[in-house]
A and B are shown apart, each in its own frame.
Chain A
Amino acid sequence: MTTIETTNEHDEGATRRDFLNVFAVVGSAVGTAAFVWPLVDQMNPAADTLALASIEVDLSAVEEGQSVKVKWRGKPVFVRHRTAAEIATAKADDGASDLKDPESDADRVTAGKEQWLVMVGVCTHLGCVPLGQQGEYGGWFCPCHGSHYDTSGRIRKGPAPKNLEVPSYSFLSDTRVLIG
């Protein structure tokens, strides 16, 4: 900027910036800015990555009291077929005073399919994978820094701030669930 003005003051020849110069400078700036978008967008997930962004899981072989761990978007997802006792405990604890991130069990499962608990198996503290059916609440326990989750995957004790995340999912049939 300064350099342009210096010239204009000294040089009789160079005309002051008129609309043409503005066009040239603004045009170049707009062109450069437009070119930046592809440079940024290329870092977003590519088409093949997005194609893997949702998965279907077959639940027919998961008996009551069993869990399966599936990989979704590079992270583990827990699908647990809960026992009646586990559901009862989870519902009973809805009002417990040690819930750090209060949430009712009903909000974490699909109505009518309360036996299926689907969660991203990543501890909300620092990203470790918690161990199933362990810890003081019979739910999940993260060995890294000692976070205890209950049978609904809610944080009850330890450093983790949030309940285990429930991904968006839907039942395609009684035995098939689409995650993502």
Chain B
Amino acid sequence: MLKAKTILVALTAVTTVAFGVGAAGDSIEMKKKEWQFDGPFGTFDRPAAQRGFQIFREVCSSCHSLKYFKFRNLSGLGYEDDMIKAFAAEYEVVDADPDEYGDEKIRKGEPKDAIPAPFANENAARASNGGAFPPDLSLITKARADGPNYLFSLMTGYVEAPVGTDVPEGMHYNKYFIGHNIAMASPLSDGIVTYEDGTPETLDQYAYDITNFLHYVAEPKLEERHALGLPVMMFLFFMIGVTYLVNRKIWKPVKEGKTLWHHGDD
């Protein structure tokens, strides 16, 4: 079994190297937060994610779209069907089909719709944002290395530029942004969103909440994945045990040096 252990170690090592290579990069050290969705049993912090949804609606959505997130996906954050319908109905969306005169048909939002994008297209977005394009946020925590920590750090990373740093016109200094000059002004600050549940209205809390929400948006199947992972892993470990014992039993005569091939004359 010594050999088998060596191989297991080697296999794990190669897998780890394979993983590690992707994560490499010249990165700025991010703030490390404890996230409830981390780890093999991780689940979403629903109250935080719901507050994050409020922040998104009141702050982020004026510049950023969320094209892969549909109102119906809110059910995963613990909202009831009629609340989801009510949220959706607050928005006006352009129907996929034109009306009878061939013009755009504007109707109330429905659970099947995404939150309407603030700008019609990229050019319109750039024109309204001094040439910068606010990216779609549906996948933001997966599209950045160490995404949740990055997002939290970015939200809380607006500081005074160090002495001697030249921040160009229309840009803002952020400790955690690549190159430090970011077109987006600090979107969150103490008290900017009013919480109804008595949660402290601080920048750190806001950053934590919006990250919880956007990570749910990026990875809505996380809980389902973790839930399925446990029985699958238990089954596989059980089968490792069984097949190990079967294998040892079958190999016993070979280990004892018996002759087990009885055919032919060679």
Contact = CB atoms under 8 A, between A and B. Distances in A.
A21 B242 CA distance: 8
A148 B235 CA distance: 60
Contacts of B260: 11-14
Q: For chain A, give the interface size range.
A: 10 to 19
Interface stretch (B35-43, B135-143, B244-252): B244-252
Nearest to A53: B112
B202 interface: no
B111 interface: yes
Q: How large is the interface on B (under 10, 10 to 19, 20 to 34, 35 or more residues)?
A: 10 to 19
B259 to A, nearest CB: 9
A24 B242 contact: yes
A171 interface: no
Given A31-B235, A51-B70, A24 B243 contact: yes
Contacts of B254: 13
Interface string A1-27: 000000000111111000011011001
B46 interface: no
Interface in B154-193: none
A20 B258 contact: no
B238 interface: yes
Contact of B242 (A14, A27, A34, A47): A27
B239 interface: yes
Interface in B223-261: 235, 238-239, 242-243, 245-246, 249-250, 252-254, 258, 260
A52 interface: yes
Q: Which of B235, B238, B246, B260 lies at the interface centre, i.e. has the most chain A CB atoms within 10 A of its CB?
A: B246
Contact of B249 (A10, A20, A34, A47): A20
17 contacts: A10-B262, A11-B253, A11-B260, A13-B250, A13-B253, A14-B260, A20-B246, A23-B242, A23-B246, A27-B242, A28-B239, A31-B235, A31-B239, A48-B70, A51-B70, A51-B111, A51-B112
Interface of A: 10-15, 20-21, 23-24, 27-28, 31, 34, 47-48, 51-52
Given A24-B239, A24-B243, 5 more contacts: A11-B253, A13-B260, A14-B253, A20-B245, A48-B70
